[in-house]
Amino acid sequence: MDEPHAHAEEKQAPQSTQTRKRQLDSDDDKRQPKRARLTRKNLAAFDKMGKKKTSDPSDDSGSTKAISTTSSGFAIQAYKNGILDPRYSKPPTNLEDLHERHARSRETASPPEPAY
């Protein structure tokens, strides 16, 4: 009976020479993106990524900067973002009522100028 026990001890390597197994984390389950090769072309592309672009002031496609609705580039930016598409835009159904309301004079007198 001592032989199987002794045999098992011989198979076990000393603690210092054993290789540690990598512990599996939930992060290891995801595939890591393939690293780009270290070439002049890739280095140039990487260098460009770090530099700030000098762009057209009306083109804010890459930023999240707010733009005022009264700004000259608002309609262009809204169109680029898919918000304002004139091909599918329709006037409101009550457009004539709105025109009539704006054409009427005020029901009450305007406040005097010093009240402003």
Find the Cα–Cα–Cα–Cα dihedral 60, 61, 62, 65, rounded to 10°.
40
**Whether the Cβ atoms of residue 36 and residue 42 lie closer than 8 Å to each other:** yes
Cα separation, 42 vs 102, whole angstroms: 61
Cα separation, 2 vs 71, whole angstroms: 90
Q: How many residues are recorded in the chain?
A: 116
List alpha helices for the chain, DSSP H.
2-11, 40-50, 74-80, 95-103
Which pLDDT belongs to residue 73?
A: 85
Q: Where are the domains of the chain?
A: 68-102
CA angle 104, 108, 110 (to 5 degrees): 95
Which pLDDT belongs to residue 97?
A: 94
Per-residue pLDDT of the chain (116 residues; tens, 9 = 90+): 555 555 544 555 555 555 555 555 555 567 777 777 888 888 888 888 877 766 555 554 555 678 888 888 888 888 888 787 777 778 889 999 999 999 998 888 888 888 77
